[in-house]
Amino acid sequence: MKLTPLVLVPLILLSCHGPASSDTTHPPDSLKTATRGVDAGKSAPDSSQPGSRDSIQPARVDTPATPMIAKNWLGTWSNDGMFGGGELKITAIKKGAFTFSMEASDGGASGMLEEGSAKLQGYHAMYTKKEYEGSCRIEFTFEGDSIYVDQQEGTCEAGAGVYYSGTYYKNPPKRPEETLLSLGMLDNEAQEKKFRALVGDDYKLFVGSSQMVFEKEKDKDSLGAVVHQAGVKHEFTERENIILINGRQDIWAAVIDGDSVKYYTSRPDYKHRVPKTIDSWRENFNEKPIVFK
């Protein structure tokens, strides 16, 4: 009878700890919890639990004192465009604000803010200043390799129709070459190819005066042509062009070049005379003589 306790003890212990050959594909809850804790940064957050993303990936610190943010605002930032653009210079950061100057242009008009102070709020900064009949309000947003500028209110010392809004880069990406097709002055590749062959090196005069492309109209000469007309903001009578193309792909075109108007056509019977449509187009600058090309 003295052996009975020795036999019962192992049996009791065995029943408390469970089978020795437990299924490893279903670990105890405590082990599951520990595993999730180690791999939490690697696994996708549970969208059913509010705030779970924040617990895995710390929120970005938005404070003016963040050294990395403050350091990266500084420098010269550019917004390049064919018919305008701008430049933003941030020269100093002090007491939660940065000092800046900027300029912008659009066509023949421009604007300049000689010096301003924008209050920093982490990845954002706000500039406000009272001006005639209102106030100037510009928001800056730091986006890593660029700063997005949003002119929200006022003229901010810029000319009519000129705004500072846009994306400014320290290293502006290469802008693709504009063509009369991309600008909307021509309708297809066939027209583009024929037009380039007709005008040669003067093609750039047409591209450079096609900022604002007007709605297409019919010609006044019964040529069956569609009229394509364009000009540059604030520089009309100085930078304009007109192109007529009919269904047979006959071309009549003219462009201002300084003190004269260059004229081109693919039609032999119009080599030395100008269609009424083009004569009407040049009424506001008819003192500029026509050069037949």
Question: Measured between alpha carbons, how far is 52 from 37 in angstroms, rounded to an integer?
Answer: 13
| Residue 26: Cβ within 10 Å count | 9
For position 67, what pLDDT does the model report? 55
Beta-carbon contacts of 206 under 8 Å, excluding residues fewer than 6 positions away, are: 180, 185, 195, 199, 241, 243, 253, 255
How big is the CA angle at 79 (ends 73 and 102), to the nearest 5 degrees?
Answer: 60
- What pLDDT, on a 0 to 100 scale, did the predictor assign at position 28? 36
- Name which CATH class applies to 67-169: mainly beta
Domain boundaries, the chain: 67-169, 189-292
Distance between CA 92 and CA 75 in Å, rounded? 9
Question: Phi, psi (5° rounding) for residue 211?
Answer: -70, -50
pTM of the predicted protein model? 0.73
Q: Which residues of 207-230 are buried (b: 16+ CB within 10 A; e: fewer)?
A: bebbbeeeeeeebbbebebebbbb
CA 161, distance to chain mean position in Å, is: 18
Confidence (pLDDT) at 69: 63
pLDDT by residue for the chain (293 residues), tens only, comes to 444 444 333 333 333 344 343 343 333 333 333 333 333 333 333 333 333 323 333 334 444 445 556 778 999 999 999 999 999 999 999 989 999 999 999 999 999 999 999 999 989 999 999 998 789 999 999 998 999 999 999 999 998 889 999 999 999 988 899 999 999 999 999 999 999 999 999 999 999 999 999 999 999 999 999 999 999 999 999 999 999 999 999 999 999 999 999 999 999 999 999 999 999 999 999 999 999 99
